[in-house]
């Protein structure tokens, strides 16, 4: 299937081209035609599947087809509202709208806490076509009479299960009272807990369900979480690596810079470690990979992109120095171990910031995540001098980290089966 087959307007197809997308992802193939037909859609898909474009493209198309035209009203009212749980996600969605809609005349804005209320108010007053908002601040604007949602004809609730986890559902219900009942509603969620199911029944009109299955980690892999403060990650990793008897360990970091920094530190501590990250030339990457494959290096410190497609059968341990953002990325990473029915172990260093990600993984993947502590590791170690003041509140022990996850050291839990 191609984007041309959806019958989208030329201006929107141009936006897709400028993003470099050539083929729709599965959620896009399934959702776009249904949304274009005007149906309410409940999309069971998570970040990483291309869900943003799956609703932004038909949204732009709908707005284009029934364009009111700028200046048609003294103050144009928003016609589409996207509600998202976090500022980061709201920013990402807004950025996607700007690129996909750059050949259209539509204007979008973000509304969330921690940013200037007045600037948001001024933009709302001037008028925008699309609002991307987090629930709390949007409700503030509504309550103060600054946001008029009476012309919204398309509503998207993105990452609905995460909004539920964050306690936003009552706010969403209040926001809904200010939006016309005659509208198209789209809801995206990685999972379908009962509260979300109930919400969909109340606010959606016979929604079409679009489900994209995600991959599951192999059964031969065991998974452990190690709660640890951010500033202790590197000494923790070193201790962990000393405890592991393995010839090949793959460590994942979130950024290229971190991959380099962690490798340098490991090398200084006497480990045979090598990096694999996007800033390296192809020749350097190949050298790293070959060295890891033939046993010259015991540890490969990689970023997701650099490790894509890597096939090395002898890896027994994957360590997430940083947790990935999506269950698919987690599956992909840990899939580097436990290959061909060999057993493998996946260790993840988790901080307080990973709480929601862990909750979402628990729900979406049928795996057992066991919380562990590392015997003999000094969880009370002080932060490096320059960070000490900032992190002093955070030099807490493993105990504190575990409390964050609401479990004690011996607890473990089985992920609930994904509702389908």
Task: Note the residues at the interface with ligand AMP (CB under 6 A).
Answer: 21, 23-25, 28, 47-53
> Rounded distance, CA 332 to CA 355, Å?
20
Strands 368-371 and 412-414, sheet pairing:
antiparallel
Report in angstroms how near the CB of residue 43 gets to ligand AMP at its nearest: 10
Quote the Cα angle for 126-127-131, to 5°: 135
The answer to whether the CB of 339 falls within 8 A of the CB of 313 is: yes
- With CA atoms as reference, report the closest residue to 295 among 274, 264, 276: 274
Minimum distance between the CB of residue 45 and ligand AMP, rounded to whole angstroms? 7
- Cβ at position 46, least distance to ligand AMP in Å: 7
Residue (31 or 196) nearer to ligand AMP, CB: 31
The answer to whether 217 and 341 have CB atoms below 8 angstroms apart is no
Q: Which is nearer to ligand AMP, 33 or 50 (CB)?
A: 50
Structure tokens at 86: 């976090």
CB nearer to ligand AMP: give 208 or 329: 329
Taking the complex as a whole, the smallest distance from the CB of residue 301 to ligand AMP amounts, in Å, to 23
Q: In 3D, which of 28, 32, 41, 89 has the Cα closest to residue 61?
A: 32
Q: Minimal distance in Å, beta carbon 26 to ligand AMP?
A: 10
Beta strand segments in 64-220, E: 80-83, 108-111, 130-133, 154-157, 184-189, 208-211
CB of residue 129 vs ligand AMP: minimum separation in angstroms?
A: 20
Min CB(93)–ligand AMP separation in Å? 8
Closest approach of ligand AMP to the CB of residue 121, in Å: 29
C-alpha–C-alpha distance, residues 155 and 82, integer Å: 6
Tell me whether residue 54 or residue 241 sits nearer to ligand AMP (CB atom).
54
| Element of type H or E holding 370 | strand 368-371
Residue 47 CB, nearest approach to ligand AMP (Å): 5
- Secondary structure of residue 357 in the 3-state scheme: helix
Residue (100 or 273) nearer to ligand AMP, CB: 100
Residue (161 or 345) nearer to ligand AMP, CB: 161
Which CB, 12 or 237, lies closer to ligand AMP?
12
Give whichever of 23 and 65 is closer to ligand AMP, judged by the CB atom.
Answer: 23
Q: Which is nearer to ligand AMP, 300 or 357 (CB)?
A: 357
Characterize the bridge pairing of strands 154-157 and 221-227: unpaired
Start-end of H helices in 104-213: 117-126, 135-143, 160-165, 169-176, 194-203
Nearer to ligand AMP (CB atom), residue 51 or residue 214: 51
**Rounded CA separation 73/103 (Å):** 22
Taking the complex as a whole, how short is the minimal distance between the CB of residue 367 and ligand AMP, in angstroms? 22
Residues 344 and 337 sit within 8 Å (Cβ to Cβ): yes
Cβ 274 vs Cβ 262: under 8 Å: no
The angle at the Cα of 113, spanning 109 to 114, to the nearest 5 degrees, equals 105
Phi-psi region of 114 (alpha: psi -120 to 50; beta: other; left: phi over 0): left
């Amino acid at each position: 299937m191609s984007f041309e087959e959806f019958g989208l307007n030329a201006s929107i197809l141009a936006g897709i081209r400028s993003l470099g997308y050539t083929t729709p992802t599965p959620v896009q193939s399934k959702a776009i035609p249904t949304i274009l037909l005007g149906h309410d859609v409940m999309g069971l898909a998570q970040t990483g599947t291309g869900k943003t474009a799956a609703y932004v493209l038909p949204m732009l198309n709908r707005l284009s087809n029934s364009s009111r035209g700028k200046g048609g009203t003294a103050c144009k009212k928003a016609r589409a509202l996207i509600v998202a749980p976090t500022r980061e996600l709201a920013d990402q969605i807004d950025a996607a709208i700007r690129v996909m809609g750059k050949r259209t005349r539509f204007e979008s804005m973000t509304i969330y806490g921690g940013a200037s209320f007045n600037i948001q108010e001024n933009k709302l007053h001037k008028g925008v076509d699309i609002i991307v908002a987090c629930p709390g601040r949007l409700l503030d604007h509504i309550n103060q009479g600054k946001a008029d949602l009476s012309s919204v004809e398309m509503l998207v609730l993105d990452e609905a299960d995460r909004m539920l986890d964050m306690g936003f559902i009552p706010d969403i219900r209040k926001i809904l009272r200010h939006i016309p009942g005659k509208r198209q509603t789209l809801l995206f969620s990685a999972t379908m807990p009962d509260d979300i199911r109930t919400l969909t029944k109340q606010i959606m009109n016979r929604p079409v369900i679009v489900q994209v299955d995600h991959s599951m980690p192999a059964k031969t892999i065991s998974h452990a979480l190690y709660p640890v403060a951010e500033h202790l990650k590197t000494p923790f990793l070193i201790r962990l690596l000393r405890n592991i008897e393995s010839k090949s360990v793959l460590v994942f970091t979130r950024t290229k810079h971190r991959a380099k920094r962690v490798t340098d530190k490991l090398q200084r501590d006497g480990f045979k470690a090598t990096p694999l990250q996007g800033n390296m030339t192809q020749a350097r990457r190949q050298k790293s990979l070959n060295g890891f494959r033939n046993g010259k290096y015991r540890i490969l410190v990689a970023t997701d992109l650099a490790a894509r497609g890597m096939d090395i059968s002898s890896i027994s341990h994957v360590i997430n120095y940083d947790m990935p953002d999506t269950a698919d990325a987690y599956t992909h990473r840990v899939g580097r171990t436990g290959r061909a029915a060999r057993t493998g172990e996946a260790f993840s260093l988790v901080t307080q910031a990973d709480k929601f990600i862990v909750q979402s993984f628990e729900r979406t993947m049928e795996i057992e995540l066991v919380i562990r502590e590392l015997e003999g590791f000094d969880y009370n170690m002080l932060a490096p001098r320059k960070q000490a003041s900032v992190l002093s509140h955070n030099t807490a022990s493993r105990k504190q980290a575990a409390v964050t996850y609401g479990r004690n050291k011996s607890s473990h839990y089985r992920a609930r089966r994904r509702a389908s």
